[in-house]
Chains A and B, each alone.
Chain A
Amino acid sequence: MPITKYTKEHEWISVDGDVATIGITAHAAEQLGDVVFVEVPEVGRAVTAGEACAVVESVKAASDVYAPISGEVIEANAELAGRPAAVNEGPEGGGWFFKLRLSNAGELSALMDRAAYDQFVKDNA
């Protein structure tokens, strides 16, 4: 059973064994508006927690997507380059950005669960 955690930068990370799938939350997608460009990291790249490793752009602005935890990129969502709108359609599903093989599962404990993230969004509205 995968567990899902959230960051203050509005990424979600769903962890199943030592593989984590990362995307942006529905709240983040809604705030961005129509996504027109996505750049995902190269497979094989080693990233550390908090490192900017993907880019998401709306008509108005560009935003970085950060690695919530450290690991190695093992897959990137190839669909997003041709169809960035997939992020708006299913930010917490088909609009995922990339997958990491975790190098330090302990980093997960620093992230928020759903209830804490929802509260965080509410407090920062």
Chain B
Amino acid sequence: MAERPAATPEPLKRTPLYDLHVAAGARMVPFAGYEMPVQYPMGVLKEHLWTREKAGLFDVAHMGLCFLQGPDHDTTARALESLVPADIVNLKPAQQRYTQLLAEDGGILDDLMVTRSPGPVEDGNLVLVVNAACKDADYAHIRTRLPDTVKLFVTDRRALLALQGPAAAAVLARHIPGIDQLAFMSGTFASLLGQTVFVTRSGYTGEDGFEIAVPDTDAPAIWQNLASEPEVAPIGLGARDSLRLEAGLCLYGHDIDTSTSPIEANLQWSIQKRRRAEGGFPGAARIQRELADGPARKRVGIRPEGRAPAREGTEILSADGEPIGNITSGGFGPSVNGPVAMGYVSAEHATPGTRLQLVVRGKPMPAEVATLPFVSHRYFRGARS
């Protein structure tokens, strides 16, 4: 008898920026099937603080970029609305929204950004950015549920970069004049180093900033060009995680997954009034019930007392010592200069200020429910919409 040969793990993929990361001295780690920079020689702590003070450049080319194409906006939007709870039909040209792909029971299959094409020529197109680890499953899920008139195209010849931080607008405006006036949560086509790129004013750090979809062959030159700006440093996945945690933003597979609904996850702000009333998305009955009656558990911010971080998986107890949930993201917040966490607790313990205990290395540690975000969002609110 011989053992069956073990399945060979899929080789890790690389983004077009891999060689630049290695040359910059980044530590590369496997993430969502890609070899990605977790940190550069600056280190996670300083990279985090740099992004909050100046501007950080992130390789997010592992994320899934695709678009839906239909005969007109209404048709494409309605097709997507059958899968997500956000109001897509009433998106204005160029407007962007955060939403979730939902399972039939209202659990979250993935979270994503949706942007309506800015111009009349491509009207009927919606640009989607989904998580790297979910992208193949998402594409299959969406494709099998689209009407014949709407098609999904994977944009695998484009690489996504993010430029985030208070100096991001001034830096990018040196390369794309006027881009600093782009409204928050909207997109535009622009020319960068002679290439057509798609820029949105959005990101996942809580700071002002942009995500830029560039042709993959031009990604290294564009990266180097932006990275050479004095305010800009390349930032790895380590700081990306601590930045989004301080900003109170969910990480798929940790803070949200198929076992959590958008209402439990405290994402009801992403479900607009019309959709709440009309339903017509997977899990609508559950979500409408949770909106009306309140969910049994909720995602909350948690501030451990003292200095010890409480990591993902940490058990949460009530002040009386009764188990009420688990930490889903937790670590050290460099801008907060202390431990921060998010997790799910039963609804009666979800009010900010509620005393909790966290079981860290077998010992109960005092903590408190905190208002999210831990660090105020500094999105661009000026200028035209």
Contacts and interface: CB of A to CB of B under 8 A. Distances in A.
B308 A39 contact: yes
Contacts of B331: 59-60
Nearest to B44: A59
Nearest to B45: A34
A61 B238 CA distance: 10
B361 A55 contact: yes
Given A33-B39, A36-B332, A81 B307 contact: yes
From DSSP, what is the main secondary structure of chain B's interface residues? mixed
Contacts of A57: 308-309, 332
A45 to B, nearest CB: 14
Contact of A59 (B308, B334, B361): B334
Contacts of B62: none
B158 interface: no
Interface string A23-38: 0000000000110110
Contacts of A37: 307-309, 332, 339
A34 B44 contact: yes
Contacts of B39: 33
Contacts of A58: 44, 332
A116 interface: no
Interface in A69-91: 81, 84
B364 interface: no
B48 interface: yes
A5 B332 CA distance: 32
A84 B308 CA distance: 11
Contacts of A84: 307
B334 to A, nearest CB: 7
A59 B307 contact: no
B241 A60 contact: yes
Given A33-B39, A36-B332, A37-B332, A59 B45 contact: yes
Interface string B324-337: 00000001101000
B332 A59 contact: yes
A43 interface: no
B311 A59 contact: no
A121 interface: no
A58 B241 CA distance: 13
Contacts of B239: 59
Given A36-B45, A37-B332, A59-B334, 8 more contacts: A33-B39, A36-B307, A57-B308, A59-B45, A60-B238, A60-B241, A62-B309, A81-B307
Interface of B: 38-39, 43-46, 48, 238-239, 241-242, 307-309, 311, 331-332, 334, 339, 361
26 contacts: A33-B39, A33-B45, A34-B44, A34-B45, A37-B307, A37-B308, A37-B339, A39-B308, A39-B361, A55-B308, A55-B361, A58-B44, A59-B44, A59-B45, A59-B48, A59-B239, A59-B242, A59-B331, A60-B38, A60-B44, A60-B238, A60-B241, A62-B309, A62-B311, A81-B307, A84-B307
> 6 tightest A-B contacts by CB?
A34-B45, A36-B332, A59-B44, A59-B332, A33-B43, A37-B307
